[in-house]
Amino acid sequence: MSRLKEQEMDAYIASHQQEILEELTSFCAQPSISAQATGIQEMHTIVTAALERRGFSVETISTPTNSPVIIATAPGASRKSVLFYNHYDVQPPEPFEEWITPPFEPSIRDGRIYARGVMDDKGHIICRLAAVDALRAVYGELPCTVKFIIEGEEETNSPNLAGVIHDHTEQLKSDLCLWEFGDVDTSGVSMQYLGFRGILYVELSAQTAELDAHSGIWGTLLPNAAWRLTWALSLLKDQTGKVLIPGFYDQVVPPSQTDLELLAKLPMIPDSDVQQLGAQNFVQPFRNALDQYQAAVMSPSCTICGLNAGYQGDGPKTIIPARARAKLDFRLVPDQTPEEIAHKLRRHLDENGFSDIQMSILGSENPSRTPTDHPLVQMVVAAAADVYGQPQRVLPMSGGSGPAHLFTEMLQIPIVTVGVGHPDSRIHAPNENIHITDLINGIRHTARILARMQAD
């Protein structure tokens, strides 16, 4: 690898900041809200044109949901290849009144660009495209094959992505996948997340009658859906946070020595982070970062996300609720699977006399991991140190979930996170934004990764 060429790329990127921001602005000005089926076709056209302008051969795979998936390829000098996974849809912009400038009128203030989707995920598409431009300008060609898979319904849980990957396995196979996002922490240190927790999202519901009944007349005679649900929920997790479903932890792979070493190197999550949410304390006192991160990302969780039964207005209403409902998510770690956990949950309810509790699965993703000692992961981490001027912080897992397992399982490739976000990017919220500095650094990092793919 040539440090000189990489510095030439940095100079090229810096001198083309204006064009990069203009292309990003044109992307963000087009609404593309998958949940509301708004602007999807138009955005697909814009992205396709941006790829074709750069000589990519572009294939559009239509879906029953009318959110086409784009697969694009451009050849490079080495036999190596990199796959970019991104999405061109965005979250709904509501509530509009909380935006300082309108969500689809990108605005630059104090070194940040504000727009719906500027971080999630259009800034990342532009980051990848600008890196391609810089490589070609400096090297005269791409150092490795570059592939894109860009879907238009990530924000509605990627219902067609698995099928598309399954049908295009050979075409998509690559040496390395850059995930749809990456970020720095509050102090500007670049972060690397090498895994995602899986998720099982269920709705549990009890129905004991058709009608709510008078609690005075029927209180001791009729079954009560809210009590049934409460008793069932109390069988799922104890006050220490331990999940009580038999076999829940059977498939959990304990953290490796390397995992523990990586976690121990992280700074502690400060109390101020929980206080910003209005909480007084963490759920339990943590002695150090290792404890915190073992709980936060290396362990599975069980969260009640919502409860609903009977009367919820002001004052008293004396009824026995006929129906009660809870929404729960289980975050899973390797090698737990949503199917396995759903099965164990159902059996646990049945064995405790709660076969009347209905269970609907509202979402599921497998967990996924990329090995920390993979040579390409080490290369990405080293490149980050060069771009950001200090060592990248590596987490063996992140707490969130996503379709990463489709890539690690079906394509068998390592996934790294590289990108333009920061902790106050406000994704899925009003005033979504990125720093221009983070955008430029994300492009420099991406370009270095592609450049270094030619080396071995």
Contact positions with its own copies (CB under 8 A) in 146-175: 156-157
State yes or no: residue 237 binds its own copies (CB under 8 A). yes
Calpha distance 40→415 (Å, rounded): 27
**Total Cβ atoms within 10 A of residue 166:** 11
**Of 207-226, which residues contact its own copies (CB under 8 A)?**
208-224, 226
**Of 307-326, which residues contact its own copies (CB under 8 A)?**
307-322, 324-326
Q: Identify which of residues 213 and 453 has a Cβ nearer to its own copies in the complex.
A: 213
Among 329, 335, 340, 386, binds its own copies (CB under 8 A): 329
State yes or no: residue 94 binds its own copies (CB under 8 A). yes
Calpha distance 367→296 (Å, rounded): 14
Among 231, 249, 252, 437, binds its own copies (CB under 8 A): 231
**Of 179-208, which residues contact its own copies (CB under 8 A)?**
197, 199, 201, 208
Judge whether 41 and 48 are in contact, CB under 8 Å. Answer: no
Size of the site for its own copies (CB under 8 A): 91
Quote the least distance from Cβ 44 to its own copies, whole Å.
19
SS3 of residue 291 by DSSP = helix
Query: Could you please report the per-residue DSSP string of 127-180?
Result: HHHHHHHHHHHHHSS-SSEEEEEEES-GGGT-TTHHHHHHHTHHHH--SEEE-S
State yes or no: residue 244 binds its own copies (CB under 8 A). no
Per-residue mark of binding to its own copies, 382-421 (x: CB under 8 A): ----------------xxxx--------------------
Q: Identify which of residues 49 and 429 has a Cβ nearer to its own copies in the complex.
A: 429
Q: Which residues pair with 365 in a beta bridge?
A: 199
For residue 183, give both structure tokens. 């970020």
Q: Which stretch binds its own copies (CB under 8 A): 15-23, 48-56, 142-150, 279-287?
A: 279-287
State yes or no: residue 97 binds its own copies (CB under 8 A). no
State the sign of the Cα–Cα–Cα–Cα dihedral 389, 391, 393, 394: positive
Pairing state of beta strands 319-320 and 81-87?
unpaired
Query: Could you please report the per-residue DSSP string of 44-110?
Result: HHHHHHHHHHTT-EEEEE--TTS-PEEEEEE--SSS-EEEEEEE--B-----GGG-SS-TTS-EEET
Q: Identify which of residues 54 and 426 has a Cβ nearer to its own copies in the complex.
A: 426
Q: Identify which of residues 12 and 293 has a Cβ nearer to its own copies in the complex.
A: 293
